[in-house]
Amino acid sequence: MNLAGFALAVLLIEITPGPNMAWMAGLAAAEGRRCGTAAVWGVALGLLINGLLAALGLVFVLEWAPNLLDWLRYAGAAMMLWLAVDAWRGGEQPTRASQSDGGVRRAFLTGAFINLLNPKAYIFFLLVAPQFLDGAPLDLHAALILSLIGVSIATTIHLAIVLAGSGLHGWLTTPGRTRIVRRIFALIMLIVALSFLLAQSSP
């Protein structure tokens, strides 16, 4: 396996600005570091499961249900739209979920489902990852190694993003700014939802 090449590919993908990055930064700024960190670990879990599912025969499932990736992105878009509406309506009550156990749990689950419902994450393992296996199949052992490398790199970058975003939390959530912050966060989630709908799902 060309592990160095795969690590470089993951690094280049992760440092490219995208909806996921904007969502995590916005979450940390609006809800604080604890929620942002929980989201990072949720994303990490989703990425790990993506790789393992690809190795366990996702390509055969897609042959049986070719529209599966489309349905996944529709579900992901619907989830983000619901969260965007909820955040917009919650502009008047910024502390109801911030930093609470419920808010942290929600951030973790949202991070996980964003990746589990993101067809691009599966396509990466189905099409890109095998290029670094020197012709070998993407079996469970290879998928686990590549997934752990990818998750490690992504999590490091995501934690840095959350730390940067959470640094603005105190200033942004002072009276008079909270409503604007949460509504900007709602718009970020709307952009993520649109990115799901506009993504090309066909491998």
Residue 26: name the closest of 197, 169, 174, 155 by CA. Answer: 169
Q: Of all residues in the chain, what percent carry a pLDDT higher than 70?
A: 74
Residues in the chain: 203
Residue 96 has pLDDT above 50, yes or no: no
Residue 203 has pLDDT above 50, yes or no: no
pLDDT of amino acid 37: 94
Span of 81-85, 145-149, 153-157 with lowest mean pLDDT = 81-85
Residue 137 has pLDDT above 90, yes or no: no
Instruction: Grade residue 20 by pLDDT with cuts at 50, 70 and 90.
Output: confident
| CB 123, CB 200: distance < 8 Å | no
| CB 14, CB 160: distance < 8 Å | no
Q: Phi and psi for 109 in degrees, rounded to 5?
A: -65, -40
Over the stretch 117-126, which tens digit does the pLDDT of each residue have? 777 777 777 7
Over the stretch 151-173, which tens digit does the pLDDT of each residue have? 999 999 999 999 988 877 666 56
Residue 9 has pLDDT above 70, yes or no: yes
pLDDT of amino acid 123: 75
Instruction: Grade residue 198 by pLDDT with cuts at 50, 70 and 90.
Output: confident
pLDDT of amino acid 172: 59
pLDDT of amino acid 68: 67
SS3 65: coil
Span of 59-68, 71-80, 102-111 with lowest mean pLDDT = 59-68
Question: What letter does residue 68 receive in the DSSP assignment?
Answer: H
Over the stretch 24-59, which tens digit does the pLDDT of each residue have? 888 888 788 899 999 999 999 998 888 888 777 665
Whole-number Å distance between alpha carbons of 182 and 94: 7
Whole-number Å distance between alpha carbons of 5 and 22: 26
- List the structure tokens of 135: 């012709």
Instruction: Using alpha carbons, list the distances in angstroms from residue 88 to 30, 101, 133, 184, 188.
Output: 12, 21, 45, 8, 11
Whole-number Å distance between alpha carbons of 30 and 87: 10
pLDDT of amino acid 164: 86
pTM, full prediction = 0.73
Residue 201: name the closest of 68, 69, 60 by CA. Answer: 69
pLDDT of amino acid 94: 45
- List the structure tokens of 161: 């993003």
